[in-house]
């Protein structure tokens, strides 16, 4: 069986070959370009700090009680926690022109579509902070003593399908005409997941406490090594598990820890082989704009307290206050914010750069995080695609053997009875693309037309009329999109061992006490600290920090 490197090389080579074989003008009519992320600002921060240690003097100084650096999910959750306490004297500084981080939205030809995260699984009882947010936003309510979700926001059926052996099939696990040995390995893996669910504590967010021995062993090795240990070498099973890891963690089974691979199933819906009795799979929430539906509503009450276009360059503290220096890209001036405390809701590679004289635990944490780049392509179709045999078009559509992660349909949640113009949002996780020889797949170096032609060629295996019906492709690049949960020699997950002596418990009486890393007047909140990037981890970290200031 080919390893991950061989698999990617073969798949990418095929994609490039398909692109080369297309008529020269087959995609020439498709306009597009890069959008969504202002790399100039981010790289200006990097280059400025690398060239000089002296920043220009601020043109103005502003006072507030709390400064929140970063308006991603964690920063917005911290702001909400302050508002819930009746505290309005705070400011949120955001690099981009809109809040939301990886959960923002855009639009193509008048159709709203996600620029990043596109769904939220229904949270369990270990995430009361997220549950309360959904109740506040009217997404769930208690009816006759039971919680019910607003069906308008649950993913409509049909939910997912796989293009496999030249046709579409229900679900993403390959089942069409697979052999008995494949089915047996499906059942073996299902049994392993069930044992893990019964013997360990799984949930999102992950508790900040030592793992039991079995999970420690899983956290210390790759998911691929774990599968090797159990003789699980079936190519269909491994493709599916690799897809799941790339979808949630940005990299495949060769990089992701076995704990993360099992967590994908054990913390949610389990793994069910064909023919097994299954409980009804829990639903998920999604919108045409993806999780931006949530971040828009978190940002809306902030008003002028949300300062966009602000490049945070320095965060310093003394015994009495925190000082934050930021470049305002709108006024083109340096500004200084002074506050009693601060929430640093930044990715760790940024936090370690901007915190003055950073503590050792922050330096070490930033060195340990491995990031996955992502590419998100929003593809506008003037009319509905001709479909191959099999299930009807779904919300989530995946191609077996593809390097990309398929696409979601922005119009799937609409109630239109006749298919028409839509936007397909295609995702590519590039956390392990570095295994491919050469530099042509480096995210920042490729012209947008190269990505356009490659994506069109790849998806055309299932949709030969895709190029003809596509009018525009908007591409969003994330150089440090998400932390990859790689194995840890100490058998732990996340970065808690690094800050165990610098932690603080949240102060809220209404929610579980959770630990966050702190240093003096700085409270750190980002999904990076959990070691993997999902909404629930980011929101809970920000919520906890907001109650700790």
pLDDT tens digits in sequence order for the chain, 549 residues long: 445 444 444 444 444 344 444 444 589 999 999 998 766 766 666 666 555 556 788 999 999 999 999 999 999 999 999 999 999 999 999 999 999 999 999 999 999 999 999 999 999 999 999 999 999 999 999 888 788 999 999 999 999 999 999 999 999 999 999 999 999 999 999 999 999 988 888 989 987 677 888 999 999 999 999 999 999 999 999 999 999 999 999 999 999 999 999 999 999 888 998 877 655 556 899 999 999 999 999 999 999 999 999 999 999 999 899 999 999 999 999 999 999 999 999 999 999 999 999 999 999 999 999 999 999 999 999 999 988 888 889 999 999 999 899 999 999 998 777 789 999 999 999 887 644 433 335 777 889 999 999 999 999 999 999 999 999 999 999 988 999 999 998 888 888 776 665 556 556 667 888 888 999 999 999 999 999 999 999 999 999 999 998
Contact 243, 398 (CB under 8 A): yes
On whether the CB atoms of residues 74 and 526 are closer than 8 A, the answer is: yes
- Looking up tokens 């491919």 gives 436
Beta strands at 371-381 and 341-344: parallel, antiparallel or unpaired: unpaired
- In 10 A of CB 38, how many CB atoms? 15
Residue 83 backbone phi and psi in degrees, to 5: -65, -40
H or E element that contains 452: helix 448-459
Residue with tokens 């308006």: 71
Q: Which two tokens stand for residue 282?
A: 């829990």
Token readout for 461 is: 């295996």
pTM comes to 0.92
CATH, domain range 1-34+371-483: 3.90.660
- Residue 542: enclosing H or E segment and its boundaries? helix 535-546
The domain locations on the chain are 1-34+371-483, 55-104+289-369+489-546, 185-284
Q: What is the CATH number of domain 185-284?
A: 1.10.405.10
Copy the structure tokens of residue 187: 């059942």
CATH number at 55-104+289-369+489-546: 3.50.50.60
């Amino acid at each position: 069986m080919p390893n991950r490197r061989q698999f990617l090389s073969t798949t990418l080579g095929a994609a490039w070959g398909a692109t080369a074989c297309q008529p020269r003008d087959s995609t020439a009519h498709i306009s597009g370009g890069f959008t969504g992320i202002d790399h100039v600002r981010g790289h200006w921060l990097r280059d400025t700090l690398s060239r000089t240690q002296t920043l220009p003097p601020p043109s103005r100084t502003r006072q507030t009680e709390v400064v929140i650096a970063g308006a991603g999910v964690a920063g917005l959750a911290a702001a909400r926690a302050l508002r819930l306490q009746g505290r309005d004297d705070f400011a949120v500084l955001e690099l981009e022109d809109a809040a939301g981080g990886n959960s923002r939205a855009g639009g193509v030809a008048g159709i709203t579509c996600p620029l990043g995260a596109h769904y939220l699984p229904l949270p369990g009882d270990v995430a009361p902070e997220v549950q309360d947010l959904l109740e506040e936003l009217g997404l769930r309510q208690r009816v006759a003593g039971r919680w019910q979700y607003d069906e308008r926001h649950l993913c409509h059926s049909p939910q997912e399908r796989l293009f496999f052996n030249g046709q579409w099939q229900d679900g993403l696990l390959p089942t069409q005409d697979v052999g008995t040995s494949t089915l047996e390995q499906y059942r073996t893996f299902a049994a392993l997941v069930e044992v893990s669910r019964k013997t360990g504590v799984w949930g999102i967010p992950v508790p900040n406490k030592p793992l039991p021995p079995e999970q420690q062993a899983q956290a210390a090795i790759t998911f691929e090594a774990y599968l090797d240990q159990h003789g699980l070498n079936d190519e269909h099973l491994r493709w599916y598990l690799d897809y799941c890891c790339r979808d949630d963690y940005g990299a495949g089974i060769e990089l992701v820890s076995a704990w993360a691979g099992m967590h994908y199933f054990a913390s949610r819906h389990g793994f069910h082989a064909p023919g097994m009795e299954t409980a009804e799979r829990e639903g998920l929430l999604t919108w045409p704009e993806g999780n931006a539906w949530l971040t828009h509503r978190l940002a809306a009450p902030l008003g002028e307290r949300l300062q966009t276009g602000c490049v945070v360059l320095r965060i310093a503290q003394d015994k009495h206050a925190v000082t934050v220096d930021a470049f305002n890209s709108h006024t083109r001036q340096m500004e200084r914010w002074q506050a009693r405390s601060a929430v640093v809701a930044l990715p760790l590679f940024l936090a370690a750069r901007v915190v003055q004289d950073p503590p050792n635990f922050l330096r070490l944490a930033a060195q340990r995080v491995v990031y996955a780049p992502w590419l998100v392509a929003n593809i506008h179709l003037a009319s509905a695609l001709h479909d191959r045999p099999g299930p009807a078009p779904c919300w989530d559509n995946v191609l077996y053997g593809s390097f990309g992660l398929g696409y979601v349909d922005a119009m799937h949640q609409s109630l239109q009875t006749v298919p028409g113009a839509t936007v397909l949002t295609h995702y590519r996780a590039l956390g392990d693309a570095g295994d491919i020889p050469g530099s042509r797949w480096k995210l920042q170096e490729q012209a947008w037309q190269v990505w356009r032609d490659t994506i069109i060629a790849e998806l055309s295996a299932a949709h030969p009329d895709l190029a003809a019906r596509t009018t525009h492709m908007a591409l969003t690049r994330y150089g440090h999109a998400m932390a990859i949960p790689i194995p840890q020699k100490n058998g732990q997950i996340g970065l808690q061992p690094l800050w165990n002596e610098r932690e603080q418990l949240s102060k809220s009486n209404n929610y579980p006490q959770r630990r966050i890393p702190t240093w003096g007047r700085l409270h750190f909140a980002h999904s990076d600290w959990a070691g993997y990037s999902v909404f629930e981890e980011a929101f809970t970290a920000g919520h906890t920090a907001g109650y700790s200031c």
